[in-house]
Amino acid sequence: MRPIGWSGGLLGVLLLVGCTDSFPPVQTLSGFAQGTTYNISYWAEQAPDDKQITADLEKVFLELDKNLSNYRPDSVIEQFNAKASTEPQSVGEEIVSLVRIAKEVSAVSHGCYDLTIKPLFVMWGFLADELTVPEPAALQAAMANVGMDKLQLVDDVQMSKKLPSVAVDLSSIAQGYSVEKISKALESLGITNYLVEIGGELKALGHKPDGKAWRIAVEKPLPGERHMHKVVTLPKDAPMSVMTSGTYRHYFDIKGQRYSHILDARNGKPVAHDLVAVSVFHESPTVADAWSTALLCLGQEEGMKIADAEKLQVMFIQQEGTEFLESKTRALTMSTLVTIN
């Protein structure tokens, strides 16, 4: 699970847009939102001007922030967290739908993925950016409030806690959902050829003006550096999102030991395996976002087994010394939609 909320600990993607004078130009919008950057590339024969698009997108970002941000005490999810009660609370359809997806991913990942580990982020010092290794007794006490089974979905707009101190962190799924919401906002304006990227999380639809597919460059998982690892060609006739989680951006190195910000909800501790990045290719950025974190938590061996069983298109990158080892699921290897060079 990622503790850094909206900004994510993500393997970056570089947009390879390109342009040519004989076709409609690719328009670009960029800015800051949700503690990170966003970059949008699109084209259309007839599209609203940039000011209207920007205004519509800003409205979407504000609504997302008001509902899902774990860094706003007045957000809907933080109001839910703050109320020490087991009574049903109204949180709206968005949060209920995200928790429903998270419950499914958590069950298949054997509890490695979990939205209720927010207290553990605080305990380990990731939110304050200062490592604090908890005592075993304190960790065990905190774990009493961890578990997706401690969240009850009452109906389509309400949920409740089984224990009053349960707290939910949506960061591992909310950014993917934000990509989807921004994408839908563009489509509502008649834009059906676009790339939407928020903090390294991306969705593409359609193609470039010359009819060629959108392409992105996936970065090597190197701290503090930006080098291309692979070029990915995305499908022209179907939506595709690329969601990547990594351990290499946010961690502590203390006395020769690395503490990753990815916490295993089954034991409350940072993962200790050699898997450094997971990229999930899926039509739904929300689903892909949750799975990228879950599979990174599980590690390459267990993650590969589950991803293959779920027929997910996934690329895993392990690090052995200075070398990176890449492996792909059967679904990605056999895919006719995504091409990785």
* Region class of 256: left (phi > 0), else alpha (psi between -120 and 50), else beta: left
* pLDDT (0 to 100) of residue 300: 95
Helices in 189-319 by DSSP H: which ranges? 285-298, 300-309
Instruction: Note the pLDDT tens digit of each residue in 59-106.
Output: 999 999 999 999 899 999 999 999 999 999 999 999 999 999 999 999
Q: In a 10 Å sphere around its CB, with 0-12 CB exposed, 13-18 middle and 19+ buried, how is residue 195 labelled?
A: buried
Tell which wins on pLDDT, 13 or 163.
Answer: 163
Q: What is the pTM of this model?
A: 0.91
Determine the distance from the C-alpha atom of residue 304 to the mean position of all C-alpha atoms in its chain, rounded to a whole number.
19
Instruction: Compute how many other C-beta atoms are within 10 angstroms of the C-beta atom of residue 174.
Output: 29
pLDDT at site 49: 83
Q: How confident is the model at residue 15 (pLDDT cuts 50, 70, 90)?
A: low
Q: Are 44 and 192 in contact (CB under 8 A)?
A: yes
Q: Which residue type does 292 have?
A: S
* Res 256: pLDDT: 60
Quote the Cα angle for 235-237-242, to 5°.
Answer: 35
pLDDT at 297: 96
Tokens of 336: 């006719």
What value does the mean pLDDT take over residues 257-274?
Answer: 87
Helix (H) or strand (E) holding 326: strand 323-328
The answer to whether 203 and 196 are in contact (CB under 8 A) is yes
Distance from C-alpha of 300 to C-alpha of 275, rounded to nearest angstrom: 6
CA gap 189, 183 in Å, rounded:
10
Provide the residue type at 45 as one letter. E
